[in-house]
Amino acid sequence: MRRAIGCAAIVAGLFGASATCWGQNEAPRRLNPGSMPKVATVDPRFLSYNIEMVEVIGGRFWAPYKSANTDAAQKAPDPNQPAGLDPNLFQQRKPIDLSDARLIELARALSPSYVRVSGTWANSSFFQDSDTPAPEKPPEGFRGVLTRAQWKGVIDFSHAADAQIVTSVAISSGVRDKDGTWTPEQAKALFDYTRKAGGLIAATEFMNEPTIPGPGAAPKGYDAGAFARDAKLFGAFLRKESPKTIYLGPGGIGEGGSLLPAGIKLDIIKSEDILKGTGPIFDAFSYHFYGSVSKRCGGKVTVEQALTPEWLDRTDKTEQFYGQLRDTYAPGKPMWLNETAEAACGGDVIAAQFVDTFRFLNQLGTLAQKGVKVVMHNTLAASDYGLLDESTFEPRPDYWVGVLWKRMMGTTVLNPQHESNSSVRVYAQCMRGVPGGVALVAMNTDKEEKHSIALSAPAERYALTSTALTSNGIFLNGSLLNANADGSLPELKGRRVDAGTVELDPVSIVFLAVPSAKNPACKNK
């Protein structure tokens, strides 16, 4: 029989204090939203998303598990996919229709946001600066072609969805001189056309994931010194051609955590070596994070693992690693997490299921506490880790968590003054659009028992549950959430709860809106 205390281990509190564990019969600690102090601020577009360049131009990308092997006749690997992987883990896809009214309506519910159009394919995509159709074969030194019409689609989507553009530029052999040095002609064409078409590139990296240059179409032997040289050239270009664009970097991945399963190694250029070479040229420090790789690449994240403190805390360990590099080589610069999801390589099946909402919510909450300015989920609508199903644009559970986060959580981050136990975590921010109001979110990962928190003020309660951890459906206060055919969302109603004890059902997430908190840190909208 399960012990009443229900605490398998003592874990660190939100701010490094020793945690206490309570049982079902113990009085929960009282939370006072009106006196919670400010600890950080985040960008108004904090929760954002990626649309991969391969989605925009068309090409082979991770096949969702339900459709894997549907194009088994394709045996030869694409040069843009990692070497050594079964080509049938990928599928050919047509360019995404960014003018789709349902897609735009669903994306607008996540506004304001950034839309990052980058990824491996961006490193080697030729921008065709004319209105002629794309050639059947990319020019020498490139692996894909981005047309004006396709990029105009990105610009139009950006306006329609209130999602400012973030990108990166081509770095493959097609943009290099005889000495192998990067040249700006392709980047200039892209930036010039963006302005001409009425768009804005709000932020950009030079290269997608320079710590793993091999899969990223970089020249053979590309190292930290070569990247630093090229990144400085791009920085000078950016200051001249688009001085208001935020220069993000270095954009590392694969460090500070356990991304790869045991026995699999990846040749990595260290971000520290890159930063030693570049110096403090970046406006903001960017990095990428995945807690693992998916089954496609040899990983294995189970439903049981997805609820453990060890899994949830991986995002903190990686942020700490890159945060220390930021403090050493770019002190004072804001941090952006430009690409993240449940697992790299398209995500596992669980990425589209209710169980992943705990990772997603916890990552938003804990990184906001640490002052990370932006978190960009990969992807909006591609493969298993998409917030939307790529075929139907049907919202997945993570999407609904994102919508509630956007509607309730403002830019001022508060210390909830609540100590986590092994099952319950609580985060707090000023309430969006309500001066003095506070929004809290609590998650209970305990599969068997209810837990409780106590509030000093009345609130509106938004409880997210599901019929099973592996379900693709999610319920709000007992009602199944579905988008309408046109992409509009149903009314998301809370239920009033009085001051006092608020119960958290097993494996549930509860948002709480406290508009009457009168928190002095939240006096502005």
Q: What is the DSSP letter of 182?
A: B
The yes-or-no verdict on residue 77 having pLDDT over 90 is no
Tokens of 75: 């045996």
Residue 14 in this model has a pLDDT that exceeds 50: no
Mean pLDDT is lowest, of 68-82, 178-192, 318-332, for: 68-82
Instruction: Provide the pLDDT for residue 91.
Output: 84
* φ, ψ dihedrals at 89, nearest 5°: -80, -10
Domain 30-40+414-522 has CATH 2.60.40.1180: yes
- Terminal CA-to-CA distance of the chain, rounded, Å? 49
**Average pLDDT taken over every residue of the chain:** 90
Secondary structure class of 251 (helix, strand, coil): strand
How many whole angstroms separate alpha carbon 203 and alpha carbon 192?
A: 15
Percent of the chain with pLDDT over 90: 81
Fill in the amino acid letter for 522.
C
- Residues paired with residue 127 on neighbouring β-strands, in sequence order: 146
Residues 187-208 pLDDT 10s: 999 999 999 999 999 999 999 9
How many other CB atoms are found less than 10 A from the CB of residue 421?
24
Residue ranges, CATH 3.20.20.80, the chain: 47-411
Whole-number pLDDT of residue 69: 46
Pairing of strands 451-455, 30-31: parallel
CATH 2.60.40.1180 domain extents, the chain = 30-40+414-522
* pLDDT attached to residue 93: 87
Q: Which has more confidence, 415 or 10? A: 415
What's the whole-number mean pLDDT along residues 61-72? Answer: 65
Burial status of residue 352 (CB atoms within 10 A of its CB: 0-12, 13-18, 19 or more): buried
Which residues, at least 6 apart from 480, have a Cβ–Cβ distance to it below 8 Å? 473, 474
Residues 6+ apart with CB under 8 A from 377: 47, 48, 49, 50, 340, 341, 360, 385, 387, 398, 402
For residue 295, give the nearest of 258, 344, 341 by alpha carbon.
344
* Residue 363, H or E segment: helix 356-369
Total H helices, total E strands in the chain: 10, 24
Mean pLDDT value of segment 382-409: 97
Model pLDDT for residues 145-158, shown as the tens digit of each residue: 999 999 999 999 99
pLDDT of residue 19: 32
Which tokens sit at 363? 């990552």
SS3 label, residue 116: strand
pLDDT at 111: 98
Rounded CA-CA distance 366/86 in Å is 36
Question: Could you give the CA distance from residue 430 to residue 412 in angstroms, rounded to a whole number?
Answer: 5
Residue 264's pLDDT band (cuts 50, 70, 90): low
User: What is the spatial distance between Cα 79 and Cα 215, in angstroms, rounded to a whole number?
Assistant: 9
The arithmetic mean of pLDDT across residues 274-297, rounded, is: 96
Structure tokens given for 237: 């270009």
pLDDT, average across residues 464-482: 97
The DSSP 8-state label assigned to residue 370 in this structure reads T
Taken in order 343, 348, 352, 357, is the CA torsion positive or negative? negative
103 vs 55: CA distance, rounded Å: 14
Mind giving me the DSSP string for 283-304?
A: SEEEEEEESSB-GGGT----TT
335-341 and 284-290: which strand pairing? parallel
Residue 265: per-residue pLDDT: 66
Query: What share of the chain has pLDDT > 70, as a percent?
Result: 89
- pLDDT at residue 260 in the model: 62
Q: What is the CATH T-level fold of the domain 47-411, as seen in this structure?
A: TIM Barrel (3.20.20)
Fill in the amino acid letter for 57. Answer: I
Neighbours of 280 (CB within 10 A): 12
Q: Rounded to whole angstroms, how far apart are CA atoms 195 and 205?
A: 18
Question: What's the confidence (pLDDT) of residue 67?
Answer: 56
Tokens 């396709």 — which residue? 150
